[in-house]
Structures are given as structure tokens and as C-alpha cells.
């Protein structure tokens, strides 16, 4: 694990954008043929837990290299 002093500090907005993009990418690779959102763009309840698991893993990986700024 990286030393906290060597981590790159990211603004919270950038952190959220990064984990959201990476999580959506991982989800599309893990579940390539699954509908994840309804026609209105809302996430389907049956996909929510899987996505939150992915987000948790992605944030854990990000935390190895980056810190989130407190705004």
C-alpha cells in the first residue's frame, strides 16, 4: 500500500467522477448484456447491490493511490 504522503490529492468532484466512470466500466464488463437502468434512466433495483459492490472495490483501489480532498 502507498504511503499517505505519496498519494495524489484529488478534489471530491474529480474523485466521484473517476469512481463513477470506472465503476460503470467494470459493471459493463462484468454484466455485458444486463439492463441496468429503466427507460427514464433510473437504476434498476435488482442491479443496485452489484453496482455498490463494484463502487466499493473501485474506491478501495483509488484509495491506494489517491486521497480525496475535504471540501
The pLDDT assigned to 6 comes to 87
The pLDDT assigned to 4 comes to 54
Q: 2-60: per-residue pLDDT in tens? A: 455 789 999 999 999 999 999 999 999 999 999 999 999 999 999 999 999 999 999 99
Assigned C-alpha cell, 2: 502507498
Q: Residue 53: give the domain boundaries.
A: 4-68
d(CA 64, CA 61): 5
Domain count, the chain: 1
d(CA 41, CA 24): 14
The pLDDT assigned to 38 comes to 96
1 has pLDDT over 80: no
Amino acid at each position: 500500500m502507498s504511503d499517505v504522503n505519496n498519494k495524489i490529492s484529488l478534489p471530491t468532484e474529480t474523485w466521484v467522477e473517476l469512481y463513477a466512470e470506472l465503476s460503470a466500466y467494470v459493471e459493463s464488463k462484468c454484466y455485458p448484456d444486463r439492463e441496468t437502468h429503466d427507460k427514464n434512466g433510473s437504476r434498476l433495483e435488482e442491479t443496485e447491490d452489484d453496482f455498490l459492490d463494484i463502487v466499493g472495490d473501485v474506491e478501495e483501489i483509488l484509495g491506494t493511490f489517491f486521497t480525496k480532498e475535504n471540501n
